[in-house]
Structures are given as structure tokens and as C-alpha cells.
Amino acid sequence: MTTVDTTGPDLAPSAGEGRRPAPPRPTRAGRPRDPRARRARRGGLTPYALLTPALIVLALIVGWPLVQLVVTSFQEFGRAQVFGAPPAWVWFENYADVLTDPVFHGVLVRSLAFAAACVVTTMLFGTLVALMMTRLTKFFRMLLSIGMLLAWAMPALTATVVWGWMFDTAYGVVNHVLVNWFGLAEYFQHSWLIDPLSFFLVAGLIIVWGAVPFVAFTLYAGLTQVPDEVLEAAQLDGAGGVARFRLIVFPYLKPIFLIVTILQIIWDLRVFTQIFALQDIGGIRALTSTLGVYIYQTSIAGGDFGHGGAIAVITAILLMSISIFYIRHLAKEEEL
């Protein structure tokens, strides 16, 4: 009678034989992770070689002036230094003066509040316009798109001058309509730009008017990607328009909403042209300056490039912190 050997290599490997290599760890899509395949898919060094010329040009155009700005912010740099006098190094004294200046605190709070109001209003109206575009016929949607493109393409200075004429004290159409159509006699030759609150109302109207087309077009492009079957199923289940937007549309478009909102915050914090032009038309500079205008008034108009550079660096750090959040969000989206 023969005996069966149960100690074969498949059942009891020898002590000298190593363990079998573990299978590759599957990814979220169920495929094994292969570093070589990932490098091949990314193109190796080719993308970096193609980006090198653009990075060099960007470093020369943006990087060098930024370095000069930081250096100037550590110096006592006035009009004498512009004409050749050697600057004196004061290091962080300019930053200390700026951060303890109550005028700068007022400008910073004013800029943040104004940017927040503009961003909220822009996102609200942009979302409503995008939703309206999904309900319009092809002809009216094209007509609305042409009108928004014209508003978006108009230069900021031109738009500010036009809106300034509309709110003109003596000949503005806004005062004319309020007095003759609605019987509001208190608005006869009313000066909209003298009062800071109404000044920022006009400035916010100009900024929102020029920013709504970008938000509307971006969100409308996202709305076309929301599955109609899901919306129809929710409507059959009794969900109203607000519920469908809150539970279905917004989760689908949440990344787009986040990116557009961050971009609007960055753009509205560094607004310059609209505020500066309205101040020339009739606003009070001391009560209506935002960060961009305040930097210009301190450095270019005031001749104090040291303190102006410090304010500019602080503003750049504020904007860069928002930009870093935006870049991190994009990186997470790429990983998914």
C-alpha cells in the first residue's frame, strides 16, 4: 500500500522558500497601482520640458518685480530714492507702522466687507441667470448670452464711466426716473457718490454687473451635465424646484460653485479701476478707498514706496492664502 505525500510544495513550502509576493493593491477603480505606468501616463519629463520656457518668462515678468517689491518694503524708499538717493534699510518697521495704523485697519475691513457683499450678490444673481437659461428657448437664450457677453467684454473703466453718467447728480437717468416716474422729490439732483454707503452701492452694482456673466456661463455649463433622469425622478417623487436644486443640482455642481466663489473673492479683493474712477467722478477718497486704491495712494500718489510696498505684500499674502486653498482643492480633484 502506497502512502500519499501530503507535504508537497503546494501544501507545505520549505523553510528556505520565501513568501509569495503580495498582489498589487487595487485602486478605487479596481486596477492595480503601477508606478511605472503612472509615470508613463504622465509623460515623464516631457511636460516639464514644455513648461520650462513659460516658467522662465513668468519668473522674469512676475518673480523679479515681486522680489523688488519685497525688498522695497524693508526700506525707507521715497521720492528721493526714486531719483537716485540710496535707500535706508528699516526692515520690519514699515510693516509695524502699517499694521498699527488705524487707517489701514479701516481700509482692510472696508475691503473685506465690500468684497463679501459683491461675491454673495454675484453668486446669487449668476446662479439665478444660469437656472433661467436652462428654461429659455434657444432664441432667447442666445439673445441673453449676447447681452451678457457684451457686458463681460466691456472694459472696466468704460463701464464705470457709463454707470457714472447714469448716476450723475444733474443729468443722471437714475435721478430723473426716481423723481419723474416715482415722484421721489428728495432725489432731485441727488449726489450718489458723496455718501460712502451709496458710493459702494454704485461700485458694487458695476462690479456685479460685469461679473455675473462669468458666473452664469460657468454654472450653465455645469447645469447641462446634470442627468435629466435624476431630476425627473425627484420631480415624480414630489420634490419641488428648491428641493431639487438643494438635494440634486447643488451636490453635482459643488466643485464648480467652490472654484467660482474663490475666484470671485480674489478678484473682488483686488478691485481697483471701478473704485478709483468713481472717486475721480465725485467720491471722497478718505472714506471710500479699498486695498488696491490705498496702495496706489500711499506709494504712487504719496511717494512713500516703503509703506506702500508693505501694504502690497500684506495684500499679496492675503490673496495667496486664498489661492493656496484654491490650488489644494484642484489637487484633490485631480487625485479623485
Domain ranges of the chain: 101-335
pLDDT score of 97? 95
pLDDT score of 308? 94
pLDDT score of 235? 85
What confidence tens digit (pLDDT) does each residue in 113-171 have?
999 999 999 999 999 999 999 999 999 999 999 999 999 999 999 999 999 999 999 88
pLDDT score of 125? 96
pLDDT score of 238? 83
pLDDT score of 4? 47
In CATH, the architecture of 101-335 is: Orthogonal Bundle (1.10)
pLDDT score of 327? 78
Average pLDDT over residues 259-279: 93
Whether the per-residue pLDDT at 12 is higher than 50: the answer is no
Which residues lie below 8 Å from residue 218, measured CB to CB, with a gap of 6+? Answer: 126, 130, 256, 260
pLDDT score of 36? 56
pLDDT score of 14? 46
Whether the per-residue pLDDT at 15 is higher than 70: the answer is no
pLDDT score of 35? 53
**Confidence grade of residue 334 (pLDDT, cut at 50, 70, 90):** low
What confidence tens digit (pLDDT) does each residue in 209-254 have?
999 999 999 999 999 988 888 888 888 888 888 888 888 899 889 8
Sign of CA dihedral 278, 207, 116, 124: positive
pLDDT score of 311? 96
Q: Which of 7-16, 64-73, 110-119, 130-139 has the lowest mean pLDDT?
A: 7-16
Give this prediction's pTM: 0.81
**Confidence grade of residue 82 (pLDDT, cut at 50, 70, 90):** confident
Q: What is the DSSP string of 204-216?
A: HHHHHHHHHHHHH
Whether the per-residue pLDDT at 266 is higher than 80: the answer is yes
H-helix or E-strand spanning residue 88? strand 88-89
Whether the per-residue pLDDT at 17 is higher than 70: the answer is no
pLDDT score of 1? 46
| CA separation, residue 40 to residues 2, 45, 52, 235 (Å) | 56, 10, 20, 46
Average pLDDT, the chain: 86
Average pLDDT over residues 37-41: 55
Q: Which of 190-204, 235-249, 271-285, 292-306 has the lowest mean pLDDT?
A: 235-249
Q: What is the DSSP string of 223-270?
A: HTTS-HHHHHHHHHTT--HHHHIIIIIHHHHHHHHHHHHHHHHHHHHT
Average pLDDT over residues 167-195: 92
Share of the chain above pLDDT 90, in %: 58
pLDDT score of 31? 52
Q: What is the DSSP string of 152-191?
A: HHS-HHHHHHHHHHHT-TTT-HHHHHHHHTT--GGGTT--
